[in-house]
């Protein structure tokens, strides 16, 4: 047990580390990888699925390199109409909008169903 | 997105739980660590958790986790001086914040009957015999289920595709009433029913369908393949959320959406990353042009 990693290391970003780093592919234009620190399938999959809805994205995938390396790598390849960075930002903005919509729709429904003393 | 929300509800929606215990006197049969662990697992009302700070990034108390912004203090002091055993329960925990109390205590208070009723005496922590005593101070903190399962607000979270059930009415009309009854009863859950007047088969509870295929197999066995077609809608989900009581089930969903929004916001590209790439811009244009 002495060499077990601390539990918080799974989700606390160490000081001086960047949350997201960007690396352009050297061989293919409009291809890049994003390394996201301290995230897992929760964010990886949701971003990937959103990127798949973008017609300019030719490839989007993510991987969790190792269960004890608390980071994911998102790889994006786009057409020349877009760029990986643009597609990535667009995906996050669209997801944010979708979540805002979901939240207000859900709250409205909860308000309608409300009964005192519910659990 | 459905799976992301499920994962967040289980492990990233914050709640409050006892995290630090200072034992003053413990002459009970259970050791200190055992009691500290049991205290940690008591669900506390966590409606405040979304607005509280994590102790590790609280600047008001230098991260020692003992200020009002990030912690709640509990006192417990019970001594047994009689021949009968005394139960130490969650109701003996005295909170410094009336908003943060064990959930069973809050529920009992809401029902106004208190702890007199035989079945509701609080969550038992330890039992004392004559002469035994337990006295301690406990600090509850905000945390998430990823850190320790005691902070998880949800007992179970599941989701399924919403079923689309299509009954071939022409084929259904060719069945006798007995055949209809035996077909309706072939479903292990009550999804279909027969109208008592018109003898028409109708869907009464699509959500009860468990994708067991029993009705489809039954229709085939009856020589009527295609009697019913059931598909899962891939853009509509039915979630089942069971709360531990720390946060209301509906609130867990709302908090999970909020947490996912915060997580996505945190993974936005920072300004300097964008700038660093723009210096590559010329090279990029060159590559594109060439």
ipTM confidence score:
0.92
Q: From the list B243, B269, B288, which residue is nearest A88 (CB)?
A: B269
**In Å, how far is A66's CA from the nearest CA of chain B?**
17
Q: In whole angstroms, what is the distance from residue B101 CA to residue B81 CA?
A: 27
Q: Structure tokens of B75?
A: 């006192």
Largest CA distance in chain B: 93
Closest chain B C-alpha to A97 CA, distance in angstroms: 9
Taking CA–CA distances from B243, the nearest residue in chain A reads A119
Q: How many CB atoms lie within 10 A of CB B107?
A: 15
A53 and A100 in contact (C-beta within 8 Å)? no
Residues in chain B: 290
A11:B245 CB<8 A: no
Query: B14-71 pLDDT, tens per residue?
Result: 999 999 999 999 999 999 999 999 999 999 999 988 888 888 877 777 656 567 778 8
A101 — phi, psi (to 5°)? -65, -45
Element (H, E) at B148: none
Are the C-beta atoms of residues B211 and B187 closer than 8 Å to each other?
no
DSSP 8-state symbol, B121? -
Burial class (CB in 10 A: 0-12, 13-18, 19+), A65: exposed
What pLDDT sits at residue B250?
92
Per-residue pLDDT, B57: 75
Q: Is A23 on the interface with B (CB under 8 A)?
A: no
Interface touch A43/B245, C-beta < 8 Å = no
Query: Does residue A107 register a pLDDT over 60?
Result: yes
CA atoms of B126 and B137, how far apart (whole Å): 16
A119: contact with B, CB 8 A cutoff? yes
Read off the pLDDT of residues A51-106 as tens digits, 9 standing for 90 and up: 999 999 999 999 999 999 999 999 999 999 999 999 999 999 999 999 999 999 99
Say whether A98 and B1 touch across the interface (CB within 8 A).
Answer: yes
Asked if B21 and B150 touch (Cβ cutoff 8 Å), the reply is no
Strands (E), chain A: 20-24, 31-37, 57-63, 71-78
| B268·A89 Cβ contact <8 A | yes
Pairing of strands A31-37, A71-78: antiparallel
| CB B23 within 8 Å of CB B167 | no
Per-residue pLDDT of chain B (290 residues; tens, 9 = 90+): 899 999 999 999 999 999 999 999 999 999 999 999 999 999 999 998 888 888 887 777 765 656 777 889 999 999 999 999 999 999 999 999 888 999 887 777 766 655 555 556 789 999 999 999 999 999 999 999 999 999 999 999 999 999 999 999 888 888 889 999 999 999 999 999 998 888 888 899 999 999 998 999 999 998 888 899 999 999 999 999 999 999 999 999 999 999 999 999 999 987 766 666 665 554 545 555 44
For the record, the structure tokens of B237 come out as 């989900």
């Amino acid at each position: 047990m002495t060499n077990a990693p601390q539990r918080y290391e799974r989700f606390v970003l160490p000081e001086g580390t960047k949350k997201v780093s960007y690396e352009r592919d050297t061989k293919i234009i409009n291809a890049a990888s994003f390394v996201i620190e301290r995230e897992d399938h929760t964010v990886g999959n949701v971003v990937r699925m959103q990127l798949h809805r973008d017609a300019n994205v030719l490839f989007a995938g993510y991987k969790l390199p190792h269960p004890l390396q608390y980071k994911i790598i998102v790889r994006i390849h786009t057409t020349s109409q877009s760029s990986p960075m643009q597609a990535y930002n667009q995906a996050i903005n669209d997801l944010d909008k979708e979540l805002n919509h979901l939240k207000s729709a859900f709250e409205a429904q909860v308000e309608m169903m409300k009964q005192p003393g519910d659990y | 997105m459905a799976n992301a929300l499920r994962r967040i509800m289980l492990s990233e929606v914050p709640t409050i739980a006892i995290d630090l215990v200072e034992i003053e006197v413990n002459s009970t049969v259970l050791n200190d660590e055992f009691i500290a662990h049991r205290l940690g697992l008591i669900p506390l009302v966590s409606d405040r958790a979304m607005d509280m700070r994590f102790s590790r990034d609280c600047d008001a108390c230098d991260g020692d986790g003992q200020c009002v912004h990030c912690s709640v203090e509990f006192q417990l002091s019970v001594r047994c001086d009689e021949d009968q055993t005394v139960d130490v329960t969650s109701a003996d925990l005295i909170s410094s914040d009336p908003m943060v109390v064990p959930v069973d205590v809050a529920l009992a208070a809401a029902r106004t009957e208190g702890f007199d009723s035989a079945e509701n005496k609080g969550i038992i922590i330890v039992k004392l015999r004559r002469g035994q005593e337990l006295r301690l101070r406990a600090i509850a903190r905000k945390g998430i289920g990823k850190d320790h399962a005691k902070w998880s607000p949800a007992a179970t979270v599941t989701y399924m595709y919403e079923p689309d059930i299509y009954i071939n009415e022409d084929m259904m009309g060719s069945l006798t009433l007995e055949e209809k009854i035996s077909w309706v009863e072939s479903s292990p859950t009550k999804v279909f029913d027969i109208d008592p007047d018109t003898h028409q088969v109708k869907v009464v509870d699509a959500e009860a369908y468990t994708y067991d295929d029993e009705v489809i197999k039954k229709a085939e066995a009856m020589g009527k393949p295609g009697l019913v077609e059931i598909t899962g809608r891939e853009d509509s989900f039915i979630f089942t959320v069971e709360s531990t009581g720390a946060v209301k089930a509906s609130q867990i969903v709302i908090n999970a959406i909020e947490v996912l929004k915060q997580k996505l916001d945190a993974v936005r590209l920072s300004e300097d990353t964008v700038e660093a790439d723009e210096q590559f811009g010329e090279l990029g244009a060159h590559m594109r042009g060439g």
